[in-house]
Structure 1
């Protein structure tokens, strides 16, 4: 099989800018500043979803010779890797979110007093019930409308990601049986049918934490992985079915979001495609690739998961304190964004760097040690 190794750096840069987009988007929303595109963080989350689908398919295919898909050991390894990639940092911040949830709820109420249009149900921050805790520890909260968006963390998408990881090995097994394209298209179709067959269930989620609502975007990333691997534009066209599915499902998706879903799919394909050295597109993509692969962009990618999970724990109290004690509301909306960003970005990225080094990376290494082959016992010599 052809390999697409060597393109991870661009993906790191994309992940880094996606997390920055989410942080700035939430700042815009919370200070009541509508900046076109920037103030729509859910588009940044969709970029994360595309990247996840791409990377899972790319890596699974590249490991197929060493880790056969039909092997139970392969599935176990995949789940173990993904759990230890996600869970250690998540559990660490979940403890903070649960213990101090009532205080974060108070801070969120302060923001709502100044900007009522930004109000949310802050009681979800203070829910320290047994079922809320257990559903989050077990990552089952994404299936439950009441608990799918029920902490101060933006963890609805983490539950979504874990649901995708759970399904992914079985999706790949189905591609062996029925073919890559038919399998993925059929799954998209089933998710779309589910929108109408289970409409009340789909609509009950305040955020799309249920995998059936977003699986088509993961699949778009999987199509992109195959497009780049095989250098076939037809797979890019298949990926572009995903925005159409989003439009049909019509779950809190505006026209701009749909346009950006399509634009992100095309943009990812353009950046990740392997062109001939003398091709015009190779020259055209030189600048975007240089931006995505410089040291700052790759660092943003390294800490992106920590930044994503952490940022609301900083942004919400900083904005509340500035509004309550320092008259943040007295200045213009763009200046509010600038002031809050100037305070929150250094704090968020500084703390995220520490979390990446001391929590996230050790968690990944723990997963690797668990999967490492154990040395065979040496026999005793009589």
Structure 2
């Protein structure tokens, strides 16, 4: 294992290895969400054979959460043991998210005013600026479209150092994951029964199992001393594929719900994602180690936050209507190609112009905070 720099700057550890495959999985998650909204938001008709886009590609967000739990544990676990380290952690997380989110917030405020003649009150603006909208039923979706997931992510960042105090080993982490699944299922049912609508899904407690599954994947790999074990990695990938196939089928999903309770099928995807992530640590997968998916993964936050606004623009320009006469396959492929080409271009610009300077500023602030 390579020698690391001092923890004074709270530089995330890589344990002697940069996990490019994790970046690629972020790219996959971003593409899942983009294709999901191509159907759900732009109303581009997908061929019947691609019905899984509407039914399953929304899982890109829980996959993001599982990756986030793993990456935070991989980079920071067992290191947040002083006031300075905590402040440095929060500084890095804030400046990783805030610059692009605030940029999109301004653009969405302008879009709402110019296109829909809509304005927002001071309380709504305050909730969005503070990232606390995820705590308020009815306000959880944010002014920034797709921003609901960012609100959940920021709340998890707030809790992460304190959660890790009790999740120092694999056993307690697995127990916490099981308890979080029970809590998530109860919250979804209780909030839905209370008439809270989308908030039953768009809240931290509902998605907490996915974050904890990522932490559990790290703790499991830590038990194996963070080493490569290709055979075991292949087994993890196979188990992820088998469980994913069961959950993909209506019958399998229903059987899990019937056996373990309502919402168990949805929560079981956390195990699929955790196994998949663990497989990337135990074994190198050439297709995920480099190439376009890895590049998209580095830009995944821009891809995620930019795509709804771009899609609104494309709707206004008539792209969905233009591809409709082309037939299901050609029309869908054309809409996807145009959307992705524009999105990747714009996301690359926002990544360089907004995200990278924000990351650099976060590092600078973190170095100063760590010295306190």
TM over 0.5, shorter chain: yes
Once the two structures are superposed, the pairs formed by residues 38-117 of structure 1 within 5 Å of their partners are 38-39=53-54, 40-61=56-77, 64=78, 67-69=79-81, 71-101=82-112
Equivalent pairs counted in the alignment come to 328
Superposition deviation, residue 167 in structure 1: 0.9
Verify: 1:32 aligned to 2:25, yes or no.
Answer: no
Q: CA deviation at 1:293?
A: 1.6
What is aligned with 2:205? 212
1:31 and 1:319 in contact (8 A); partners too: no
Cα distance 1:195–1:17, how it changes in 2: closer, same or farther (>3 A)?
closer
Tell me how far apart the structure 2 counterparts of residues 202 and 4 of structure 1 sit (CA, whole Å).
Answer: 46
- Distance across 2 between alignment mates of 1:340 and 1:149: 26
Name which structure has the greater RCO, CA cutoff 8 Å, separation 6+.
2
* 2:292 matched residue in structure 1: 296
- 1:280-311 per-residue CA deviation (whole Å, 9 max, x = no partner) reads xxxxxx5xx21112232221111111011001
Could you tell which deviates more after superposition, 328-337 or 311-320? 328-337
Alignment match, 1:143: 135
Distance in 2 of aligned mates of 1:207 and 1:341: 31
**In structure 2, do the counterparts of structure 1 residues 198 and 20 end up closer, same or farther at CA, with 3 Å as the change threshold?**
closer
SS in structure 2 opposite 1:205? helix
Q: 1:139 and 1:24 mapped to 2: Cα distance? A: 26
Q: Determine if the alignment matches structure 1 residue 271 to structure 2 residue 280.
A: yes
**Shift in Å, 1:332:** 2.0
Question: Does 1:330 find its partner at 2:325?
Answer: yes
Corresponding residue of 2:334: 339
Could you tell me how far apart the structure 2 residues matched to 1:153 and 1:335 are? Answer: 28
- Given that residues 319 and 340 in structure 1 are in contact (C-alpha distance below 8 angstroms), is that contact kept between their aligned partners in structure 2? no
Instruction: Show structure 1 runs of 5+ residues with no match.
Output: 107-125, 275-285, 377-382
Report the alpha carbon displacement of residue 331 of structure 1 after superposing the two structures with TM. Answer: 2.9
Q: 1:1-382 counterparts in 2 under 5 A? A: 4-29=15-40, 30-33=43-46, 35-39=50-54, 40-61=56-77, 64=78, 67-69=79-81, 71-101=82-112, 126=118, 128-151=120-143, 153-175=145-167, 179-195=172-188, 200=193, 203-206=196-199, 208-231=201-224, 247=257, 250=262, 261-274=270-283, 289-322=285-318, 327-373=322-368
Mapped partners of 2:194, 2:205: distance in 1: 11
Q: Please, which moves more after superposition, 291-300 or 329-338?
A: 329-338
